[in-house]
Structure formats: structure tokens, C-alpha cells
């Protein structure tokens, strides 16, 4: 009876098609796919593998980086030249108004200049954000779910977290990348995003203050309008004043729009790239909007969150 029972059992023997077998890059386990799937996720480590990768070589990367650094250095020197030249041009006027006004002007100018140049330098020369280093490639080393939703960067040849994005201009993966800014020659990411926002704030306030001082000094240097109308001013002088006014207004509007856009993304708990990704995916992943994202972004102390009980239990962003 036992022999007949054993013989009645069904044993299925099948062959594995090599086209449907692949190896997970995260844990090194051999996976069997039902069909030839171009993108698949490992059931053990959670890593995502894409078999349709069109890698293009990045040529002259060092030359591009050198060009960006030279441009940023020249721009920094030009900013210092404008600041020093502006202070020297109006120093006699501000002290002629009053000694107190002159001292106040010099102190405020020094603060705005130091803040603008320092935040610009930190945004340009500081690393934008390096993703955390993880062990990968071997099953005994990689535990279950250690590489959840990680992908493999074929440019950096290492795992890339869902919060990271590879920048071909910088040639590296950036954590919480917002965008690559050509004016600072660097990416804006988790490590320098706060400095970039501070630079925009300082640039906007500096532009407003410089415009006010320039207009105030110009109205006192030029003859009074009641004695000499603007229509009778010299043609070249009038054109120069109008051109300078247009350039200052365009710069102020551009900086203000960029700052407002960045603050809106921070309020929504997103970056510019994550905003584009959410639009492409149909908005399946919805971030929590609120002022807690702005407080968390600027690293406010925990004492502030005591008065905001709804913010204390919210997960912290930009945590490596």
C-alpha cells in the first residue's frame, strides 16, 4: 500500500529557460522570471533591476567641471568688485546725510555682502549630497529588505537610493537632488540646498537695498526735478538710467520667482525633480504639505515643535 501511495504522487520536472533567469545585482541571488521582464524587483533585498539600460559615456567631464569652477570663481570676484565699488561710490553721500546713517549703511552692507558671498561659495563649492554607502552584491551580507526600491547606477557603479539622482554634469549621484544650477556650477541637493535658499534670500534683500540706496543717491546727485525735468536730461544719461533700472528689475524679478518656486516645493515636501516625477507618474505618491516641511528644512530647534504638536510626530526629511 505504501509503495502504491508513493507511486501515486505526481512529480513535475521542468527545464529553466536561461532567457528567463537572471541575477539580482543587490544580493546576488539567481531569480527566475515568468517572462522576460525588462524591470523586476527582488523579493529578498527589494532591489530594482532594469535590463534595458542605454548607458552613454560622459566625455570631458573634468573639463566641464574645471570650466564651471572657473566661471564660479570669476563670478565671485565680480560680486566682490561690485560690492566694494558700490560702497566706495556712495560712501561720501551716506556720510553727508548723517554720520549715523553712514555707520548704519556700512554695517548693513557688510552683513549683506558677507552673507551673500559666503552662502554663494557654500552652494557652489560644497558637495551637494553624497548618498549613504551600503554593502551589496552578496547574499550573506545583504539582509532582507536592505535595498528596498534601490536601483543600480551604471555611471557610478554602485547602488542608488530612491532619494538620489545621477547628475551627468557633475558625474555623481546626488541625494535629494533639486536641480543642477549653472550659475553656481554645482547641483542643489541635501547638503547645500539650505545654503542655496539662504543665498537667494540674501541676494533678493541685497538687490532691494542697493536699488533703494542708488535711487536715493541719484535723486540727490541729479538736479531737482522741479528745476530740470527728466525729459530734458542728456540722452545718453537717460538711456543709461533706464537700462540700469530695467536690468535691476529683471534681476530682482528673476531671483524672487526662483525663491518663491523653491519655497513652494519645500512647503509641499518635494524637490524640483520629485515634482516632475510625480507629474509623470500621475501623482500616485502624495507628500504631506504644510509649514512643518519648511521648519524641518531649515533645521529649527526642537523647542519650536513643542508649540506645534502636529509637527512633532512627522518624519524628518533629509535624514541620511
Q: What are the catalytic residues? A: 181
Question: In this structure, are residues 265 and 179 in contact, taking their beta carbons and an 8 Å threshold?
Answer: no
The runs of H, that is alpha helices, within the chain are 2-8, 61-97, 99-125, 193-221, 235-267, 272-280, 291-297, 302-306, 309-312
Task: Return the residue matching grid coordinates 542708488.
Answer: 214
DSSP three-state, residue 52: coil
The CA-based angle 126-131-133, given to 5 degrees, is 120
Phi, psi for residue 267 in degrees, rounded to 5: -60, -35
The CA-based angle 237-238-240, given to 5 degrees, is 65
C-alpha pair distances (Å), 278 with each of 54, 177, 252, 269, 317: 23, 15, 30, 12, 17
d(CA 283, CA 52): 25
Question: In this structure, are residues 255 and 207 in contact, taking their beta carbons and an 8 Å threshold?
Answer: yes
Query: In residues, how long is the chain?
Result: 320
Grid coordinates representing 47 are 532591489
From the CB of residue 259, how many other CB atoms can be counted at a distance below 10 Å?
17
Phi, psi for residue 278 in degrees, rounded to 5: -65, -35
Amino acid at each position: 500500500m505504501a509503495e502504491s501511495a508513493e507511486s501515486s504522487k505526481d512529480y513535475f520536472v521542468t527545464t529553466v529557460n536561461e532567457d528567463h533567469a537572471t541575477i539580482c545585482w543587490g544580493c546576488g541571488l539567481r531569480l527566475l522570471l515568468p517572462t522576460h521582464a525588462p524591470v523586476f524587483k527582488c523579493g529578498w533585498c527589494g532591489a530594482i533591476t532594469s535590463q534595458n539600460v542605454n548607458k552613454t559615456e560622459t566625455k570631458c567631464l573634468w573639463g566641464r567641471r574645471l570650466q564651471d569652477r572657473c566661471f564660479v570663481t570669476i563670478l565671485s570676484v565680480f560680486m566682490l568688485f561690485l560690492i566694494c565699488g558700490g560702497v566706495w561710490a556712495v560712501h561720501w553721500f551716506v556720510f553727508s546725510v548723517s554720520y549715523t546713517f553712514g555707520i548704519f549703511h556700512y554695517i548693513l552692507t557688510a552683513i549683506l555682502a558677507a552673507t551673500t558671498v559666503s552662502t554663494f561659495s557654500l552652494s557652489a563649492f560644497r558637495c551637494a549630497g553624497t548618498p549613504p554607502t551600503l554593502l551589496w552584491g552578496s547574499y550573506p551580507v545583504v539582509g532582507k529588505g536592505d535595498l528596498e526600491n534601490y536601483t543600480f547606477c551604471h555611471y557610478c557603479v554602485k547602488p542608488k537610493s530612491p532619494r538620489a539622482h545621477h547628475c551627468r554634469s557633475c558625474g555623481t549621484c546626488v541625494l535629494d537632488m533639486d536641480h543642477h544650477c549653472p550659475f553656481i556650477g554645482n547641483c542643489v541637493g541635501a547638503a547645500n540646498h539650505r545654503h542655496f535658499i539662504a543665498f537667494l534670500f540674501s541676494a533678493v534683500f541685497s538687490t532691494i537695498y542697493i536699488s533703494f540706496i542708488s535711487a536715493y543717491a541719484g535723486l540727490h546727485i541729479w538736479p531737482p526735478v522741479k528745476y530740470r525735468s527728466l525729459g530734458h536730461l542728456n540722452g545718453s544719461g537717460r538711456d543709461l538710467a533706464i537700462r540700469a533700472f530695467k536690468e535691476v528689475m529683471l534681476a530682482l524679478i528673476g531671483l524672487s520667482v526662483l525663491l518663491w518656486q523653491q519655497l513652494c516645493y519645500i512647503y509641499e515636501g518635494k524637490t524640483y525633480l520629485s515634482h516632475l516625477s510625480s507629474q509623470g507618474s500621475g501623482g500616485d505618491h502624495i507628500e504631506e504639505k504644510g509649514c512643518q516641511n519648511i521648519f524641518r528644512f531649515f533645521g529649527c530647534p526642537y523647542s519650536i515643535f513643542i508649540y506645534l504638536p502636529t509637527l512633532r510626530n512627522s518624519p524628518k526629511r533629509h535624514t541620511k
